[in-house]
Structure 1
C-alpha cells in the first residue's frame, strides 16, 4: 500500500471520529449549569433583555438546529465569536497556542533527556539501581495526580524557598515549574516504553547474530538495538506531544500558564459555548493529526 493511500484511509477513518467528538462536546458544553445570556446581561437584567441576548446567540433554537448551524459554520471555516472576549474564536486560540507549544516542547525535552537514557540503561542492566529507579518512576508517574505534584512544587520552590515563580509567563523562569511537573507525568510512561522496547530488541534473533559475529556492544546498541526500539518510543512521544499541544489543562490551570488548557477552563466557567467548542475541536483535531503522523 502506498503512503498516500494509507494516509488517505487514515484521514477518512478520522472524519467520523471528529464528527462524533464534535457532537459529544456540543452536547456536554450545553448541559453544564448556567446561562451565558444571563451572564452577559448581568444579574439585575430584565428577562426580556436576557431573552433578546439568547435570540442573538441562537440559544432559543432547538438543540439539533443549533448543532446544524454550528456544523455549517465549521464547514465554512467560521468557528464563531467568543461570548466573553467578543473576538473570533480562532484568534483567541492562536493567541494562546504559542504558550502551549512552548510548554509542551519544554516538558517533552526534559522527559526525553531523562527517560530515554534511564530506560535504555535499565534494559541493559535489568538488576541495577537504574532499573529500580525506572520502575519507581513509572509507578509514580502513573499513580500521582498531576495537580498534587504541581501544588507541592509551588509550596517548596515558590512559597518556602522563593526561588521560582508560582504563576504567570513573563520570564523564562516561569516555565520551569510547569514544564518539570508535566515532564514527571511523561517520564513514567516513556521510561517504561523505552525499557520494554529495548529489552524486546535485545532478545531478537538478529541481535544474537550480531553478538555471535563479534560486534562490539556499542555498535550493536547503536546500529541494531536502538534502531528497532525507536519505533514504539517515537510513537509514544508523538502521542504525548499531541496531548500536550491540545492543552495541559490541569497544569496550565495550577500554574496560571496562559495556554489553551487554561483558556478552556476559563471558557467553561463563563459558559462561553463557541470558545469551549472551538478549543475542544482543536484538541481533538491535533490529537488525530499527531496520531496519523506517528503511524506513518
Structure 2
C-alpha cells in the first residue's frame, strides 16, 4: 500500500506539470496583457517599460520557468481587476463552491440509495424500468438547462425559492438539486448493478432459504456488501461536482469559484483564470487519489501492484 501510494503521488507531478503548461498557455491565447493594463493612448515607451517589468520581453520558455517557480511559491500573479494577488481571491470563493458541491452530493446520495435499492429488488418490473429510464434522462440533461427549468418553474412561475444569490438555506435548494441530479443518476445505476450482483451471491440465497425477512436480507446482507463500489463512485462524483459547480454557480449567481472564473474570463483577468483552473484541477486530482485509497481501505481484498 505504501509503495502504491508513493507512486500514485509521484504520478501527480507530471499531471500538474501538464496543467501548468495549459494554464500558462492561456495567457498567450488571451492576447497581450499589457494592452489591458495601459490606456489606449499609452506611448510605445510605456508599453515597452511595462512589458520589461512583467518579464514579457523574455523568450517563452524563460517566462514559463519563471511561472513554474512562482507556482511553487503559491504565486499565480496579480489581479489587475481586484488589485491584489490572485490566489487569496480564489481561496476566498472556494468555501461557497464546496458548500454547493457537498450539498449536491447529499442530495444525490439520498436520491440514489432508495432508487438503486428499489430498482435492484424490483428487477425487470415497471418500477425498475421507470427508475432506469429516469437515470438515463437525469444523466443526459445538462446542468445549465435543468437549472433554467427549475428557475422558471419554482422561482418565477411558482415563487417557492429565491432565483439567485446566497445567504439562506432556501438559496441552496435549487442549485443543489440541479447539480446533484446527474450524480444521483450515475450513483443509482452503480448501486443497482452492485445490488444485483450481491443478491445473486450464495450467502444471500442461503439467508433467504433460512426464512430471513426480505428487508433484513436486503438491508443487512446485500446493501452493506454493495457499498464498496457505491462509496467509490461517490468520491469520484465529488470531484466532478466541484468542477460541475462552476456552471451551476453562473446559472444561479452563486458567489463561488465558478462565477468568479466567468467574470475573470469576460474581463480577461488571466491571473484569476490561471489560479482558478489550477485549483479546480488540483482538487479533482486529490479527490481521485483519495477515492483510490478509500477503495483499498474498504475492501482489503484489493491489492495494488
Q: Same fold (TM over 0.5)?
A: yes
Q: 1:214 to 1:269 in 2, by over 3 A?
A: same
Q: 1:43 to 1:248 in 2, by over 3 A?
A: farther
Distance 1:254 1:48 in 2: 43
8 Å contact kept, 2:147–2:178: yes
Deviation at 1:213, TM superposition (A): 4.3
8 Å contact kept, 2:165–2:171: yes
Matches within 5 A, 1:181-260: 181-246=178-243, 248-260=245-257
Q: 1:55 to 1:210 in 2, by over 3 A?
A: farther
Distance 1:247 1:47 in 2: 43
2:16 counterpart residue number: 18
8 Å contact kept, 1:250–1:261: yes
Deviation at 1:43, TM superposition (A): 4.1
Q: Give the CA RMSD over aligned residues.
A: 2.1
Q: Give the secondary structure class of the aligned counterpart of 2:288.
A: helix
Gaps of 5+ in 1: none
1:113 counterpart residue number: 110
Distance 1:195 1:277 in 2: 40
Give me the TM-score of the superposition, normalised by structure 2: 0.87
Distance 1:59 1:213 in 2: 77
Deviation at 1:47, TM superposition (A): 4.3
1:162 counterpart residue number: 159
Deviation at 1:214, TM superposition (A): 4.1
Range with bigger deviation, 151-160 or 48-57: 48-57
1:135 counterpart residue number: 132
Q: Give the secondary structure class of the aligned counterpart of 1:136.
A: helix
Distance 1:68 1:222 in 2: 56
Range with bigger deviation, 269-278 or 147-156: 269-278
Match status 1:102 vs 2:99: yes
Q: 1:267 to 1:118 in 2, by over 3 A?
A: same
Match status 1:86 vs 2:83: yes
Deviation at 1:83, TM superposition (A): 3.0
1:122 to 113, 119, 123: 119
Distance 1:186 1:63 in 2: 41
Q: Give the secondary structure class of the aligned counterpart of 1:264.
A: helix
8 Å contact kept, 2:179–2:244: no
8 Å contact kept, 1:246–1:260: no
Q: 1:156 to 1:48 in 2, by over 3 A?
A: farther
Aligned length: 293
Match status 1:153 vs 2:143: no
Deviations 1:165-213 (A, max 9, x none): 2221133222222111112222211111111111111123332343344
Deviations 1:27-82 (A, max 9, x none): 2x134344332222244544443444333333333322221111111222333322
Gaps of 5+ in 2: 294-305
Distance 2:262 2:185 in 1: 26
